[in-house]
Structure formats: C-alpha cells, structure tokens
Amino acid sequence: MMTNKEIFKEIVEIMREDSATCKDYGTGNSQEYESQISDDMDRKDFLHLVQEYLATFGVEGHLLFTDFSLEKIGFSVMRQDDVLYVIKANKDTGLVSEDKIVAIDGFSIKELFQREKTFFMGETAEREGKIWSAVLKFYNVLTVIHPDDSKEDISIIHNTKGRETECYSFEEYDDTLYLRFADFADLDAINQLLSKCKCILEKCKKLIVDVRGNGGGADSAFVPLLEYCFPEGEFVTDYYKPEYPIEINYSVRNCKDRIENLKKYLVGDIPEEMTAMLNTMIANNTENMGKGFLDDDDEFASGIIGKKGPEKVLIITDESCGSSGDAFAEVMSCSPKVTLVGRPTMGITDFSNCNVVSFDNFRFVYPTSRDKRIDYGKGLAHKGVPVDYYIPWSPEHIGKDVELDYCLNYR
C-alpha cells in the first residue's frame, strides 16, 4: 500500500509530465501542499488537501482525486445569498426539496464559502452548486430550516440510497418530442432509445433535447441526432468548424495506459469495423509514444448530412452539463435550427480525454488532451457554452420545470 507522501509525489509527477495542463500550469504550487502532508494524517484530511491542491489549477470536472470509501452525500443544492437551497435529496438524508441549509458545523454559508474558497475556483453563485456537493463531504452537521419553518440539525451521511432514475427517456407532447439524456455514456442504450422513437423523431415539428446535468461520456453517442438538427441536405461540417485543433499528450504513461485499455475492448465478439478502429488506435499510440503533444487531425461529424426532421430544435442546458454534454451543446449551437435554453454549460472541454490512475482506494483522474483555443483566450472554462435564451435560477424553480415549460410553449 502506498503512503500519503508517495501518492502525492506520484500525482505531482503526473501533473508535470502527463496531464494536458502541464504546458499551462506545470505542477502549480505543489511544494506548499507537499509540506503539509504526513503519512499519519487523517484520511479525510489527506483527501481534502489533495483536492484543494488540484482546485488551484482551476480545471473543473476533468481533474479529480476521489476516495472510493467516501460515497456521495445524496443531495444537491444551489446557493443564493447566505442560503443553500436543497433541490434534490434521497429519502434517507432527512432532507426534502425546498429545505434551506443556513449553517454547516456552525459556520454560516458565507463563512464556509470563504473557508473553502479555493474549491470554488472563482465561479459565480449560480455555477457553484455542483461544487458544494464535493465540499460538504468534509463536514458533519447541517442546520436546516424546513418548508414549514421548523429548524433542525441533520447529520450528513455518505451511504444514502437513491431512487433509480432512467438515464435516457422520451415523451411525446402533441407535435413535440422530448428527449432526456442524463449522460452520453451508454451508446447501446442511447441507440435503442432513438430506435424506439424514430418515427416520432422524423415526424415531429419540434424537438426538445434536455441535457441538464449531463455527465458526459462519448461524443460519438450523440452523432445519430445530428442529422435531425441541421438543415436538410447540408453537411454538418458546413456549420460546425472548430477554429483550433485539439492536441493530445502522447507521454509514455498516457500511451501505455491507452493501449492497455484499448486491448480490453478487443476481447470477445465485436464487429469487424470496431476491431479495425481499435487496432488503428493502438498502432497510433505505439508509434507516437513519448512524443509529447501532437495535433489531432480527426474531423468530427464528417460526411453527416442534415435530413428532413423537426422544424425547430431546443436544447435545455445548465451549469451541470459537462464534458460530452458541453460538446453536444457547442455542436448544436452552430445549427440555425437550434435554440439553446437555460443556463450556460459547465465548460470543461478545454482539457479532456481523461486517464484514470488508481492508488489503492483513491482514484486520480486527469486530462490528456488540450484545446488550442485557450491560447487565444477563447476557452470555455468557467463560462461554458452560452445559451440563446437565459433563464436564471431562483428558489422559485424548485418543484417546477421552468425551462421545459418555456420550450413546450415556444413557437
């Protein structure tokens, strides 16, 4: 088993050589944090310190250090002024939607925010919600005002059991088709969903695609939707043209890990074209191993032509829609048929294509690709993909679906 100091040293080395952030930030202020680490420190304190160190890089979503033994807290919040509003909660948390958290371990919300300011990376209050869930893991007791104005202290628990929800679903409203994607991770399930509603998709006048909270996955998962969302008879690439290339860090570690992961997919009965693609990727990583940053010349959505489909397409996004969710919103924003509604996305694709390293029960996630647009001040970090119709969040939204109502009434 590795010691705390050994784990941190390995993380710093990865930040120096393998992370796509190395060009921009090197190892950051690693010495300051390294001096605070001891092998006998509390596990939670070590986790907090490493997470705080990584937060100094300002890279959300794709630069993470997590503990398998510390499960999710089972509720999510949004902040307004000096209150955290509970927007969702598992039953066994003791919380309900509309609860107001006014203190945590005796700290007011503003005091705790100042105490953990590094974690929030300068985000606005509206874009903090996704970060609070990670910060609250390190605390114990919430002071809560319930909807009936009663006040209660509630302990945070880490092994709550939530209700299983569908990741992918569709619903028909008159001449409108509503599609919901919680992520783009399961290509087979997404293709099955699109097959089920294909007839509706081809005949509906309006398509609504809800990617709020989308946790990402694979960009290829949303490719089947593109032909319905771009003008009939025209190439998607006539509209979507990335201004700058992506560069990939072909460090020795990154290439070895990629090759090992790709070989796992070659086991079993897979389509011939998939085998050919995987072998090409393995050969590419073998050839370029140790060469550092190289531009990726793959053209996304090449050859896809728009077909007759919905007259209007509305995409609902928010500040928790990231990674492939960001990519989806950005591609769709280029189509004259599409209107983005809600709030700007998470904006975490400046650094992408993550690798995962395990240290016993800890897991370190870091990016291996870099979008060159950041060299020109055009990155998405802390801004996200902008929307055409902005709907600011407010506590009045709890229990309502303001964004969907807007889209259903959109003419």
- In the chain, domain spans: 4-67, 75-155, 252-289
Tell me the per-residue pLDDT of 55-74, one tens digit each, with 9 for 90 and over. Answer: 999 999 999 999 988 878 99
- pLDDT tens, the chain, 411 aa long: 899 999 999 999 999 999 999 999 999 999 999 999 999 999 999 999 999 999 999 999 999 999 988 878 999 999 999 999 999 999 999 999 999 999 999 999 999 999 999 999 999 999 999 999 999 999 999 999 999 999 999 999 887 776 667 899 999 999 999 999 999 999 889 999 999 999 999 999 999 999 999 999 999 999 999 999 999 999 999 999 999 999 999 999 999 999 999 998 888 777 787 788 889 999 999 999 999 999 998 888 889 999 988 999 999 999 999 999 999 999 999 999 999 999 999 999 999 999 999 998 999 999 999 999 999 999 999 999 999 999 999 999 999 999 999 999 998
Region of 282 please: left (phi>0), alpha (psi -120 to 50) or beta: alpha
C-beta atoms surrounding 120 within 10 Å: 19
C-beta atoms surrounding 243 within 10 Å: 9
Region of 58 please: left (phi>0), alpha (psi -120 to 50) or beta: left
Cβ atoms 186, 292 nearer than 8 A: no
Cα distance between residue 362 and residue 119, in whole Å = 19
pTM of the model: 0.94
